[in-house]
Structure 1
Amino acid sequence: MDVKPNPVQVQAADSLFSSPPTVSHTGPFARVLDAYAAFQERRELLGLANPGTVEGISREVTRDVFLNNSSFSGLRAELTKVFSAAPVFQVAHSLSMGSQLQPPYSYMVLYGSPRVFMQGSLDNDLQFSGRFNWRWTSALVSKTAVQLTSQGNMFTLDNDYTGADFSASLKAVNPSLLDGGLTGMLVASYLQAVTPQLSLGIDAFWSRPAMAYPPELNVSYAARYKAADWMACGQLVPDRGVLEASYWRRLTDKVETGINCNLAFAGIGPGGPMVGPQKEGNVTIGAKYDFRQTWFRAQIDNQGKVSCLLEKMIAPPIRVTFSGEIDHKQSTAKLGLAVAIEAADEAVMEQQEQAGAAMSSGAIPF
């Protein structure tokens, strides 16, 4: 005997296995949720890009044009052996002579993949420095750095979050709870893109070397405007009376210029406010020439210091660097010459060419 199904039961069964209905915003938070949804829609329509970080707000000037991290003195030789390009795995031997900042010998090992980055170096005085970065997601990266030296040890923990149109960072330097409270340094920063060219940010620096000293908090405000061929940015620390401004300009495809101005309107340090107001300013102007196989950078400041750096790629595995500095105020001069040789097998060189674009696009959490 055929039994016909009840239409009411069929309709009830279909409703159980069908997709759930759309939930509308009701209740006391309905207006807040609707306002947030409308704000997100307008935010996406602006087409904002990630502005970078507050720490690197003037990267075009301080990192690309100036010689802050590239100038050296004495003789230096670096021999690098590349075992793999994807993932990156290489070792390096560095020899230095005539420099008080560089050790006579150091050994370095580096490994990098899209998720992890590890680097460690050990010199002849058994001073160790290492870095370990881990990418949790495409936006969140944790970075750790350790330095073990005879002068003291330092541990740094940094967490960076890179959003679609903002960047947030939380950094801790030598944090400790062994003295009965929190000591060390904490730095929190946030940079938000307001328009496709303008970005605004804030940076908070908290420090307490020991429980016997009161904590100190300094807040700085940052702004950055990036156009097609120029950039201007500034940072203001009201508590310390410090103002720093930078300007970068691309003159041609091979020439870039930059200027940095740092002004201090009050004394900095424990006895600063007691000795009365002080005014101090530093201005640095630099230029960078990028040729096919040669890179030349030069800078001059208001203290009478002139520096230059010439880097020449003689052949794909050999690179020669010349560094020079003249300090007219101190009547001193420094010269440096470095030779770097990178050795790799033919298979590794082909692997570097194939994976070069992926590695240079920021796939490794350096």
Structure 2
Amino acid sequence: MELDQKHEVVSEVIGHNGPFGRLSDVYRSFHERREALGLSNPGTVENIAKEVQRDVFLNNLSFSGLRAELTKAFSVAPLFQVSHSLAMGSQMQPPYSYGALYGSSKVFLQGNLDNDLQFSGRFNWRWTQAFVTKTSVQLTSQGNMLSLENDYTGSDFSASLKAVNPSVLDGGITGMVMGSYLQAVTPRLSLGIDAFWTRPAMAYAPELNVSYAARYKAANWMACGQIVPDRGVLEASYWRRLSEKVETGINCNLAFAGIGPGGPMGAMQKEGSVTIGAKYDFRTSSFRAQIDNQGKVSCLLEKVIAPPIRVTFSGEIDHKQNAAKLGLAVSIEAADSEVMEQQEQAPADAGAIPF
């Protein structure tokens, strides 16, 4: 017993007075000051301009032709649903595709198969509340793609590591590797870094591009920027909420790299694009519109006819190319009465699905 007590005393003396004790005190002091700032998670570098790119702009929402989608939900907790999609007059969408989705607090599964037997799937697994592994695969006639991603969401930072088509079969590492880190410095300001490494084959030299990002978020407006010094690319975005129903955003992209028309001895080529957009939310619908410096005007109207029926209209006019696109989509979400009751009774604090 006396020997055990002596060991405990020696361990306490070393822990408080040795180098480990000093490191522990420094870490404890840093952690306390960090918590005193009251910082929150700033999001990710990939979604640093999500208020502009996802909420206001319709770059990923516009379409052409006719579309119809029928979704059937079988349960809410866990989430399980299947869908049938039909498309006409669109070069981006297949004529028919079948999809299935399953999600719980730990796992997320999604698969799509079209009429040409082209398959795309996603599998996400939540190891802890902060650590999620995401996997996606695409099997098409043009080629296959495999993506592996690990995301860690801390209390005041986010870190991500992603690899696309990684391989060591050619005698070395090939593919694409991306890593990002975004840290909240103050309750409103966040700073981040993003690195992109690519090597399509061993015959090519590897290429590394590093970008730096900053984001400032206030109560009703947001400004962010990202710069890639090696490529001479600068991108800036600004978002503002004018009222409870109106949001606006602007994005500016400038590039000062590349070889101009005069060849290697000519002047450096300069390119730029500016896009301005707005979103208005009605009681049962929403309207988005945007215009860029190339003369392209786009709009998107989403209307809920009834709780299970949604109609979407998309229009685009390209004055520079003298072209126009129109799209109309109808989406129907069906569910049994028991499933609808489960959805209404589901608690708001239920475990989030790792999408």
Residue aligning to 2:352 = 363
Q: Secondary structure at the match of 1:284?
A: strand
1:94 to 85, 102, 105: 85
Percent sequence identity over matched residues? 79
TM-score (norm 1): 0.92
Aligned length: 352
Note if 1:328 corresponds to 2:324: no
Residue aligning to 1:319 = 310
1:259–1:267 Cα change, 3 Å: same
Note if 1:186 corresponds to 2:216: no
Residue aligning to 2:343 = 352
For structure 2, the residue ranges without an aligned partner over 5 or more in a row are none
The CA deviation at 1:355 is 2.1
Distance in 2 separating the partners of 1:364 and 1:43: 29
Distance in 1 separating the partners of 2:263 and 2:348: 50
Q: Secondary structure at the match of 1:40?
A: helix
For residues 4-63 of structure 1, give each alpha carbon's deviation from its aligned partner in whole angstroms, at most 9, with x where no partner exists: xxxxx8xx69969x9998664322344333222211110010010000000000000001
Q: Secondary structure at the match of 1:240?
A: coil
Contact 2:259/2:267 (<8 A) preserved? no
The one-letter code of the counterpart of 1:278 is Q
Distance in 1 separating the partners of 2:234 and 2:267: 18
1:356–1:240 Cα change, 3 Å: farther
Distance in 1 separating the partners of 2:218 and 2:83: 39
Distance in 2 separating the partners of 1:272 and 1:195: 46
Distance in 1 separating the partners of 2:152 and 2:265: 40
The one-letter code of the counterpart of 1:46 is L
Residue aligning to 1:56 = 47
Q: Which moved more, 1:70-79 or 1:286-295?
A: 286-295
The one-letter code of the counterpart of 2:204 is Y
Q: Secondary structure at the match of 1:44?
A: helix
Residue aligning to 1:119 = 110
For residues 252-297 of structure 1, give each alpha carbon's deviation from its aligned partner in whole angstroms, at most 9, with x where no partner exists: 001000000000011189x996764111000000001112210110
Aligned-CA RMSD value: 2.2
The one-letter code of the counterpart of 1:145 is S
For residues 316-341 of structure 1, give each alpha carbon's deviation from its aligned partner in whole angstroms, at most 9, with x where no partner exists: 11000000000000000000000000
Residue aligning to 1:4 = none
Residue aligning to 2:94 = 103
Residue aligning to 1:25 = 16
Q: Secondary structure at the match of 1:137?
A: coil
Distance in 1 separating the partners of 2:259 and 2:146: 26
Note if 1:305 corresponds to 2:303: no
Distance in 2 separating the partners of 1:41 and 1:150: 55
1:273–1:170 Cα change, 3 Å: farther
Distance in 2 separating the partners of 1:247 and 1:273: 36
The one-letter code of the counterpart of 2:354 is P
The one-letter code of the counterpart of 1:324 is G
Contact 2:275/2:292 (<8 A) preserved? yes
The one-letter code of the counterpart of 1:363 is A
Contact 2:259/2:266 (<8 A) preserved? no
The one-letter code of the counterpart of 2:238 is Y
Q: Secondary structure at the match of 1:134?
A: strand
1:273–1:116 Cα change, 3 Å: farther
